[in-house]
Amino acid sequence: MVIPVRLVIGRGGRRGFASTLVALRERTLQQKVFNRLLRPPRKITKEEKSAKSSIKMWLAHWNNEKETERELKDFQDLIMVNVDVAGTKDNQIVAHGINQWHFNNPAATAITTPTLLIHGYAASSMAYYRNFTGLSQTVTDLYAIDLPANGLSAEQPFKLNGDKPRSLKVKYLDNDKFSVQHVIDESGTKQMIQQCESYYLDKIEEWRKVNKLEKINLVGHSFGGYLSFKYALKYPNSIEKLCLVSPLGVETSIYSVNNKLEKNTKYALDLEDPTSNFYTRRREIPKFIFKNQSEILRWMGPLGAKMCWNYILSAYSRIPEMEYKSYIFELLYGKGGIAPTARQIFTNLFTRNLLAKDPIMDSLGQLQAKKVLLVYGDHDWMNKYAGYKLVERLNTIRNNTSAQYIEVPESGHNLFLDNPTFFNASLTEFLSAK
C-alpha cells in the first residue's frame, strides 16, 4: 500500500529542501500572531461576524456570568455530540484530575497498540476532534487527554525546588558573532528543566498505569510533541511508536544547557543550521508579552476580547464549526486565561525566541522508540528543516530507516485540523506498519 503523502523522507535524499533558507523565508510566528490579532480574515461568515460583540464577550467574563469550567464543558459536549465514531466514546476524569476521552472499537484491528494523542500549548484534547472519527476506525483503543492545567484537567500544584537559575544572557557582536555574559549554571538549569518536564511526564505515566496499559503509541503536537519526546526518554519501556507533529523545541542552539560556552569568548553565529550549537533566531517575543501571554488580552478590556476573536477566526479559518471556535475563545480568554502553572513551566523550558533550553536534537542518541515519524504542514510556521535534519540524524545514528519525515498538503501548524483525512491516513499507515 502506498503511503498517501506528498513527501516522505527516510534515510536518503534531501527532496523538498533546496537549502536551509526554506524555513527562514517563512514569516515568523510573532508576525503571524500580530497580524491575526489586529485583522480578522477577509472572508468570514455572518455567523462568525455576529457571534459575539467585543463588549458582550468582555462583560460575560468580567462579571463571571458563568464559570469557565462549565463553559468549557458545555462547548466540549457541543463539539463531541456531532462527532461520530466507530465503537464507543467515553469521557471521564481519571488519574486524579485528567480529562480523558477514550474511543474503543474492537473491530479495528489495524492498530491494536493503545494510542494517545497529546495536544499543544494553550490547547486541549479537543484539538483532535476532527480526527476522532477517522482514527476510531483503525485504532482499537484511541485516547486523548487534557494535560494538567489545560482544558478541563486540574491545575496540579507546582513549585520549583531551589532558586531559579539565571537565564543565559547573549551579547551580539556585529552581525555574525556573539558572546555570553556569564557561564550558565548547568546543574541548576538541568534540575529546573527536569522538574518542569516531570510536571507533565509523570502525570502521563500515572495516566497510563491507571488505564492499565502496557506500551503505547504516542502522538504529540507542538509543545505536546516536545513533551512526547521527553516522555519517551524518561519512560522508554512505555513507548512503542512515536509521532511528533510539528514539534516545538527540536533545534539545538546557543541557549542549549548542553553547550559548554565560555564567558566573554567570541563565537560565530549560525542562523541556518538547526543542528549547530551556535544556531539562533534573532527575533524574540517581548519579555512582557512572553511572561503574561493571554492575560494581556484580558487587561485590554473589550479590545482584547475582539483581538482574541480575530486571532481565532484567522488561525482556525479552515475550521467550519463555530462550537470549536467558541471553545477556543473560552480556553484563551475565559476566566484566568492560560493557567499560571502552564505559563510558568513553558517560560522556564523555552527562550523568548521559542528555542528549547534542552533541545530534542541534543538527546536523539538516547531515544529507544522503535519507529519515529515527523509530520509538518506544508505551510507550517515551525522550522520544518529542523525536523528533516532530526530524521536524517536519527537514521544515521541508528544506521537504518526507522525515522520518517512527512508533509501534509494544504495545512499549517494545526495540520491535523486543516487536513484531517490526509493526516489520519498518514498516521494510520505509520502506526500499522510492522
Domains identified in the chain, total number: 1
Judge whether 14 lies within some domain. Answer: yes
pLDDT digit string, tens, across residues 175-204 = 789 999 888 889 999 999 999 999 999 999
pLDDT surpassing 80 at residue 336: no
Q: Do the domain assignments include residue 382? A: yes
- The parent domain of residue 241 ranges over 7-33+83-167+184-252+357-432
Residue 209 is assigned to a structural domain of this protein: yes
pLDDT digits (tens, 9 = 90+) for 343-370: 999 999 999 999 999 999 999 999 999 9
Say which range, 7-21, 50-64, 67-81, 297-311, has the weakest mean pLDDT. 7-21
pTM: 0.89
> Cα–Cα distance between 428 and 358 in angstroms, integer?
30
Residue 396, domain member (yes or no): yes
Query: Which CATH number fits the domain that encloses residue 115?
Result: 3.40.50.1820
